[in-house]
Amino acid sequence: MIRMRTDWRVAAIWACLAARLAFYSAMLPLWEGVDEWAHFAVIQQTALKGEWLTSRERPIPRNIEASLGMVPLPWELRRLAAPAVTHDAWWQLSEGERRRRAEALRAMPPAWAREDGSGAFSNYEAQQPPLYYWALAPVLWLMRARGLVPQVLALRSMSALAASLVAPLVYAVGHELFEDRRMALGCAAVVAVMPGFANAVARVGNDALAAPIYAALISAGLRMWRKPSARAACGMGILLGLGLLTKAYFLTAVAPVMVLICWRRGPLCNWPRGLYKKLSGWWRLAACVAPLIIAGWWYLRNLLTTGTLAGLGESVSLQRSDPAAVLRLAPSVPWGRTIDAILFSHIYCGGWSWLTVRSWMYHLLYAIAALAAIGLWRWLRRPEVLWLLAIYLFFWAGELWHAALLFVTHGVPASMGWYLYAVVAAEAPLSVAGLSTWIGVWAAPIGAGLFALLDLLAMHALALPYYAGLIRHQPNGTLHLAHFSTLHLPTIFERLSVLVAVPLCIALWIFYLLASVTAVLLATPAPPPNRGVKP
């Protein structure tokens, strides 16, 4: 009975995350997702032109370029020339002008999708590994006769569905770590209500595929540690290869994965004793070679065409001058501001308009994270925890390296904090484990409750009012939270009905609210609390 009830709760938390991501996908205005139009351009050129590896210098398609002058754009694109306007300026236009632009978007000829734009915007996301674009190209090909808006919504929905797999995978990781399954359920519930995770994956972008692959890799590593087998070793190698073909930040996983595969002792097969050592060696070799077979060609191509392994713009710019500049200038990076910027954009940074809530809310979560980090000392003798820490810390090293690249090439002391959601399957269980040192089984419910409150506040006092034109940036660039008494939900949903009809938008909002509350309740332990956690 306990097993059945636990499995039902896993499915329920998974459904909660899927419902929340569905609302996010419908609520975010067109191109509000970070770099969304550039990711969409790569998929479109793959699906409609058969360009499996398109050039980053190629102009984006004509329909995408035209849409940038028809829809309200995120604050990040405020410097684009007219007729492009941000959300702030959009609601200053006359009602007739807004209607004209909306009708032009719907009436855009499908043939424009096969034509190159003027060249004002390049297809810069073609620098990314291609697996995500290949996976979604068939969906776009099937919808090739439809308009741009339903195509984007379909790709967002598929991305959100893939990302929702993180919920059961986080539970699997927590189940390997905790004796009390309610704590494993709590880890999944925490991820299900994280606003930063929803913002990162409910858009057209390869993070939506990278997150479940990374979570599966982390779970496979725990199984490999608990019971070495050829299946676990090869599974890790294949997952690492798929990850490397999805996002370059999987390079941070190469070292811990190879060490675990090669160093973990134990037979990898059930052959007679005289044969197992030889066959185990072959299986380990196959597991190590698998990533090279799957993704090695992409990184070799990067080396040949750009002179860098990752092939990203910052690395290419630096390679043309002096790669050693990163190490020389690293001490000059304002690391305090840099880490603060990474954590801000990790906890919550709404869309490409960089919406943020009050700073004290972030720093409250900083303090809780610090308590969790301190509390991990009690768990450090557990090899599973060391594996999760290795994955997480190596990823942080990659974040800091990218921050140094950005500072050296652009003078920007920051990095993309939402990238950390790739390793949320390590972050959430580690945080719950550390906090359980202080508050036991209530660690996950408190964490889920705080993230749910943050999400509901940011959604209703910031994101929805901003996208609906009820609030806008001040002259100094700040954005004040809307007062709840000024919110008029019918007006908001009417103004956000570009992607979906008003009734569907309201239905998704109701499911979003129910899912947020349900996920927190599912994380709450039933009295009396079971203290069965492994120290």
515 within some domain: yes
Q: How far apart are CA 453 and CA 448, in angstroms?
A: 9
Percentage helix, strand, coil for the chain under 3-state DSSP, each rounded to 5: 70, 0, 25
Instruction: Answer whether 84's CB lies under 8 Å from 37's CB.
Output: no
371 within some domain: yes
Q: How far apart are CA 366 and CA 417, in angstroms?
A: 14
44 within some domain: no
> Cβ–Cβ contacts within 10 Å for residue 148, how many?
23
Residue whose pair of structure tokens reads 């306990």 in the numeric block: 2
Q: How far apart are CA 237 and CA 462, in angstroms?
A: 42
What tokens were used for 406?
């950005």
> Cβ–Cβ contacts within 10 Å for residue 175, how many?
21
Residue whose pair of structure tokens reads 């191109």 in the numeric block: 31
> Cβ–Cβ contacts within 10 Å for residue 102, how many?
14
Its pTM stands at 0.92
Provide the residue-wise pLDDT of the chain in tens; the chain has 535 residues. Answer: 344 445 789 999 999 999 999 999 999 999 999 999 999 999 999 999 988 998 888 899 999 999 999 999 999 999 998 899 999 999 999 999 999 999 999 999 999 999 998 888 988 899 999 999 999 999 999 999 999 999 999 999 999 999 999 999 999 999 999 888 889 999 999 999 999 999 999 999 999 999 999 999 999 999 988 888 888 888 999 999 999 999 999 999 999 999 888 876 655 555 445 444 555 667 778 888 999 999 999 999 988 888 888 877 666 666 554 566 677 777 888 999 999 999 999 999 989 999 999 999 999 999 999 999 999 999 998 888 999 999 999 999 999 998 888 888 778 888 889 999 999 999 999 999 999 999 998 999 999 999 999 999 999 999 999 999 888 888 877 888 887 767 778 888 888 877 778 888 899 999 999 999 999 999 987 654 444 444 4
Those residues whose C-beta lies under 8 Å from the C-beta of residue 164, and which sit 6 or more positions away, are 14, 17, 18, 21
Closest to 204 measured CA to CA, from 245, 151, 254? 151
Instruction: Answer whether 418's CB lies under 8 Å from 346's CB.
Output: yes
Helix (H, G, I), strand (E, B) or coil at 418: helix
Looking at 113-180, list the stretches that DSSP marks H as alpha helix, in order from N- to C-terminal side: 131-142, 148-163, 166-177
**What is the span of the domain harbouring residue 230?**
2-24+162-523
Q: How far apart are CA 474 and CA 88, in angstroms?
A: 10
Q: What is the pLDDT of residues 126-180, one digit of tens each?
A: 999 999 999 999 999 999 999 999 999 999 999 999 999 999 999 999 999 988 8
134 within some domain: no
Q: What confidence score (pLDDT) does residue 257 get? A: 93
81 within some domain: no
What tokens were used for 287?
């597991």
Task: State how far the alpha carbon of 431 is from the alpha carbons of 43, 153, 319, 379, 521, in Å.
Answer: 36, 34, 37, 11, 19
Q: Which residues pair with 59 in a beta bridge?
A: 122
Instruction: Answer whether 405's CB lies under 8 Å from 318's CB.
Output: yes
Q: What confidence score (pLDDT) does residue 267 get? A: 57
267 within some domain: yes
Task: State how far the alpha carbon of 434 is from the alpha carbons of 132, 393, 451, 477, in Å.
Answer: 34, 15, 17, 37
> Cβ–Cβ contacts within 10 Å for residue 70, how many?
20
Number of domains in the chain: 1
Those residues whose C-beta lies under 8 Å from the C-beta of residue 89, and which sit 6 or more positions away, are 72
92 within some domain: no
Torsion sign, CA atoms 388, 393, 395, 396: positive
Task: State how far the alpha carbon of 361 is from the alpha carbons of 33, 348, 366, 416, 494, in Å.
Answer: 23, 10, 9, 19, 30
225 within some domain: yes
Q: What confidence score (pLDDT) does residue 276 get? A: 46
Q: In degrees rounded to 5, what are phi and psi of residue 60?
A: -70, 160
